[in-house]
Structure 1
Amino acid sequence: MVSRRNFIGGSGAALLGAAIVSKAGAASLPEAPTTTNVNMQPPPSPPNGRPFTPVMTLNGWSLPWRMKNGWKEFHLTAEPVVREMAPGMKANLWGYNGQSPGPTIEAVEGDKVRIFVTNKLPEHTTVHWHGMLLPSGMDGVGGLTQPHIPPGKTFVYEFQLEKHGTFMYHPHADEMVQMAMGLMGTFIVHPKDPNVMRVDRDFVFLMSAYDIDPGSFTPRVNEMTDFNMWTWNSRVFPGIDPLPVRMGDRVRIRFGNLTMTNHPIHLHGYHFEVAGTDGGWIPTAARWPEVTADVAVGQMRAIEFTANRPGDWAFHCHKSHHTMNAMGHQVPNLIGVQQKDLAKRINKLVPDYMAMGSAGGAMGEMEMPLPDNTLPMMTGTGPFGPLEMGGMFTVVKVREGLARNDYRDPGWFKHPKGTVAYEYTGDVSES
């Protein structure tokens, strides 16, 4: 049994060493549920405690808890995981409870939370609760506010949630390796009053970047700028969940940035409000309208809009290289260079060789052999042909007739007659 007397010095983290935990002590730990499901998991309504409307984690899920003597108890397990980035490609990452990012933790302002963290990594780790107001000894900076969590050990973090908002969790131990390997997650604190800032649909995801050579499975952790897999919740298009939204819904989308650069996140079809940061909610009178919210490294943003325009609306990072996959960065620009004769000669040596780039870089309709475990640079097919996208891209699908809690993909939008761009043949539509 863990009590406050077990806590080590002033660190505030209790050590449940595997060698010193009795069977009774091990049985006192809450379950550490795990999943490798890559689809968005609709969370159940809160089974106990204060009520709240759960968030939807793109390609992820929310961590269950148990109530014990007034504490909400969660159990995170840091461990190596295999994450499918999109059909056809998997990566060896580090995560929590079977996935990278780990499960979203959801609780309510005023809750007392107790979070058990078991380390199944090959090196020590910690957990920092990014943006949280808490005692220094619970802040998770290895060597500064607590001892590192050795492999095979379990530590306990205890604190009361002082402020509702959007936060993250990630290690503050060997960060260059551990965050580059995908060790991170989201922490949502809901307001005490469920009617405060209430929305109908509330989505969340984290941005991360990886350098994974085609044909390989493990990221290069020493990379600083030259990444080739730009991900939302360690997924790339076409593997990122769409955001199904019912016409008339008030929608909130929360996103955090744990990459090495900023990301201008752009939504088509709407003017949204920038409603919050990881420092707190922006008062209604101080919010500003945007179609693009720039998110710096280590920041979170929450945007809100009312879904009153039906359709399939692109939602993506506006840095064009961040909407591509597995891109080589040393490719010369061959626009205007005639390669026909050269291609014939090379084909005698390399039968699958294709001349590309003479008229631009479009490759959406090309079918070419790829190394094992990689993805086309641009991919995806929509109702009108190739989408030519990858990386940080998905679609907000606004529809009439969706049920309140229906998050299934509604398919492609059926455009009303006269509302699709068309080829000019000498006449224009008079409708």
Structure 2
Amino acid sequence: MVTRRQILGGGAFLAAAATWTKTSAMGLPEAPVMESPDMQTPIFPSSGPDYQPVATLNGWTLPHRVVGGVKEFHLVAEPVERELSPGMTAYLWGYNGQSPGPTIEAVEGDRVRIYVTNRLPEHTTVHWHGMILPNGMDGVTGLTQPGIPPGKTFVYEFDLVKSGTFMYHPHADEMVQMAMGMMGMFIIHPKDPAFMRVDRDFVFLLNAFDIAPGSYVPKVMTMTDFNLWCFNSRLFPAISPLPVALNDRVRVRVGNLTMTNHPVHMHGYDFEVTCTDGGWTRPEARWPEVSIDIPVGAMRAYEFDAKYPGDWAIHCHKSHHTMNAMGHDVPTFIGVDKTEVARKIRRVQPEYMPMGNRGMADMGEMEMPLPDNTVKMMDGWGQFGPIEMGSMFSVVKVREGLAATDYADPGWFEHPEGTVSYEWTGDTPVPVKSGDAKTMPPAATHGGHTPG
């Protein structure tokens, strides 16, 4: 992580920073920049109330300073380059070097002061989605404030009156600015450190882009026909895994700022929905799920006890949303004999590979030339071969002995002998001992669980 002042001192971004100088920035909090697309280690609190910080998938938490008892943050709205996946970069708009912007974390009862500097070519605002605050801090251009002109800095200041999971995004030229990637998460931890305490707390946004193969800038006029579906502006296999220690209490918070709903499904577990946009779900009102549908402009958080070791998939259950660079006008060739047409095409294009007549699974393992700046429809390899997924897909990796501060990828799960599906060759199967803690512990209910 570097500071914007360090970057400007080194001569980078000078063309875009004509109105942003070290002199004009005097007195402002630093505006750190994140250039890495990888998930950063959570920032544990060093003072004030204790809390379990969130880990943002392929993201980071914005540092702050305290002035007169007020927590001060600095967001910079600006053009950014985001690596959606190795081999594909998008030219987006975001905050502090990335899209989505950094996660903001504070504690219920805090007073926050958020400086927002605009380095976009047009005015912007920030709306604090779902939060209770003074009307003039709500960030709606023309209604509650004038737009922040390019080169100017505005201040938002308010008290955090409730804990929960919230988002931030512009309410200025919203269709364009959100389609370009301007959004982020805002987490308010309970003032009681024991309330709803968990051992691991993950957060990410669902977002989508329409970027034609070979191009870099999203089509901002797209309403429904998106071709790239992301967790935090990343595509599988470039999405961070969720490393979890065996027996951890785990929370996953998901916000949706796409143009459609997403049924997020997690394998291997049932879980409880413990938080919505409106706040924490009372224990008697929680409901069990294995998939949770997240509406547009909404947030859902769920929790589970990590009792079952393994590599458990987590993904959107709309099948097209687990495919990269979808071409929606491609005809279906299932059952078509392409032998003769392939022979003729190879006369002029020797590298032509016919596909689709048996389904699309071949895409998972074939390596073929791609247009510049695009990704395979299905990508990513596991220990047993191609995973044949993309876009909104990741893995919850539950491991025994994982340190509380360890968020590194632990690698592939080492399956105990006799616990992997295998080909039957006519022999009598050897039964797996039921209840083996290394395979599948007895099912447990989570009803009424209230940490702390």
Tell whether the structures are fold-level matches, with TM greater than 0.5: yes
Partner in structure 2 of residue 197 of structure 1: 196
Q: How big is each residue's C-alpha offset from its partner over 1:199-236, in whole Å with a ceiling of 9 and x where there is no partner?
A: 00000000100001111111100000111110010001
Partner in structure 2 of residue 71 of structure 1: 70
Partner in structure 1 of residue 118 of structure 2: 119
Aligned to 1:391, the other structure's residue is in SS state coil
1:287-306 equivalence runs, <5 A: 287-306=286-305
Partner in structure 2 of residue 393 of structure 1: 393
Work out the number of aligned pairs and report it. 414
Give yes or no for contact 1:256–1:295 (8 Å, CA) kept in 2: yes
CA distance in 1 between partners of 2:296 and 2:385 (Å): 35
CA distance in 1 between partners of 2:18 and 2:293 (Å): 48
CA distance in 2 between partners of 1:22 and 1:41 (Å): 28
1:381-420 equivalence runs, <5 A: 381-420=381-420
Q: CA deviation at 1:427?
A: 1.5
Aligned to 1:312, the other structure's residue is in SS state strand
Q: CA deviation at 1:81?
A: 0.3
Q: How big is each residue's C-alpha offset from its partner over 1:52-84, in whole Å with a ceiling of 9 and x where there is no partner?
A: 211000011000000001110000000000000
Aligned to 2:178, the other structure's residue is in SS state helix
CA distance in 1 between partners of 2:83 and 2:413 (Å): 27
Give yes or no for contact 2:19–2:151 (8 Å, CA) kept in 1: no
Partner in structure 1 of residue 232 of structure 2: 233
Q: CA deviation at 1:50?
A: 2.4
Aligned to 1:27, the other structure's residue is in SS state coil
Tell whether 2:149 aligns with 1:187: no
Partner in structure 2 of residue 54 of structure 1: 53
Change (3 A) 1:284 1:138: same
CA distance in 2 between partners of 1:389 and 1:174 (Å): 34
Partner in structure 1 of residue 158 of structure 2: 159
Q: CA deviation at 1:289?
A: 0.4
Tell whether 2:333 aligns with 1:334: yes
CA distance in 2 between partners of 1:22 and 1:215 (Å): 35
Tell whether 2:210 aligns with 1:211: yes
Aligned to 1:26, the other structure's residue is in SS state coil
CA distance in 2 between partners of 1:34 and 1:194 (Å): 30
CA distance in 2 between partners of 1:190 and 1:401 (Å): 27
Give yes or no for contact 1:180–1:210 (8 Å, CA) kept in 2: yes
Give yes or no for contact 2:242–2:395 (8 Å, CA) kept in 1: yes
Q: Which runs of 5+ in 1 are unaligned?
A: 1-17
Q: Which runs of 5+ in 2 are unaligned?
A: 1-16, 432-452
Aligned to 1:54, the other structure's residue is in SS state coil
1:217-256 equivalence runs, <5 A: 217-256=216-255
Change (3 A) 1:38 1:25: closer
CA distance in 1 between partners of 2:32 and 2:128 (Å): 20
- The amino acid of 1:403's aligned partner reads A
Aligned to 2:32, the other structure's residue is in SS state coil
Instruction: State the Cα RMSD in Å.
Output: 1.5
CA distance in 2 between partners of 1:351 and 1:241 (Å): 38
Partner in structure 2 of residue 312 of structure 1: 311
Aligned to 1:73, the other structure's residue is in SS state strand
CA distance in 1 between partners of 2:50 and 2:111 (Å): 15
Partner in structure 2 of residue 375 of structure 1: 375
CA distance in 2 between partners of 1:426 and 1:250 (Å): 42
Partner in structure 2 of residue 365 of structure 1: 365
Give yes or no for contact 1:94–1:178 (8 Å, CA) kept in 2: yes
Partner in structure 1 of residue 33 of structure 2: 34
CA distance in 2 between partners of 1:352 and 1:422 (Å): 35
- The amino acid of 2:408's aligned partner reads R
- The amino acid of 1:215's aligned partner reads G
Aligned to 1:344, the other structure's residue is in SS state helix
Q: CA deviation at 1:361?
A: 1.4
CA distance in 1 between partners of 2:63 and 2:181 (Å): 21
Aligned to 2:364, the other structure's residue is in SS state coil
CA distance in 1 between partners of 2:95 and 2:24 (Å): 22
CA distance in 2 between partners of 1:407 and 1:39 (Å): 11
Partner in structure 1 of residue 442 of structure 2: none
Aligned to 2:25, the other structure's residue is in SS state helix
CA distance in 2 between partners of 1:22 and 1:223 (Å): 36
CA distance in 2 between partners of 1:21 and 1:337 (Å): 60
CA distance in 2 between partners of 1:55 and 1:171 (Å): 23
- The amino acid of 1:54's aligned partner reads P
Tell whether 2:130 aligns with 1:131: yes
Partner in structure 2 of residue 429 of structure 1: 429
Partner in structure 1 of residue 173 of structure 2: 174
Q: Structure 1 stretch 36-45 or stretch 298-307: which is displaced more?
A: 36-45
Partner in structure 1 of residue 443 of structure 2: none
CA distance in 2 between partners of 1:30 and 1:49 (Å): 19
Change (3 A) 1:23 1:323: closer
